[in-house]
Structure 1
Amino acid sequence: MSELNVEIDLAKCLTQHGFVLHMNEIFQFPGDFWNAVSVVDSGMQDLGWIAERRINITLVNLNKAKKKPNDGPNHGLK
């Protein structure tokens, strides 16, 4: 079985917008993709355009991401 192993460094995308852009870079969401966390959530439910049948995602620096404030226009990850 083919596998795709992905490591996402949350220290490199401390805002929701940064996270969405990073996820799009990694997974190459279809052309109708727009920058919103809800769209990433929907896209992750059906990754049919990816050839690998198994996808392993590792999140690193989660504690650093949790320290980013969740207020203001450039709010952090929840």
Structure 2
Amino acid sequence: MADQKIGQLLDNLGVTADLEADDMPTDALVLIKAVQPDGGVAISIGKSETLDWVGQLGLLHGALTLISDNGVEGP
């Protein structure tokens, strides 16, 4: 599987983030679920170019805490 830019993909999926107008995002960690041609399911992780493994773990842990504390958002 080749790396590819996913901005348009995320837009098409309707992905949003709760950011204020003056917030300055510095890094991103994206989890993607994809259905393969054979019907299998794959999970892929995308990240910003400067995000190292320590930052990835920190963002993932922070996201898990947010989900645990606030519950998973429904439709």
Q: TM-score, normalised by structure 1?
A: 0.25
Q: Which structure exhibits the higher relative contact order, with contacts defined as CA atoms closer than 8 Å and separated by 6 or more residues? A: 1
Q: Which has the larger radius of gyration?
A: 2
Write 1 or 2 for the structure with the bigger share of helix.
1
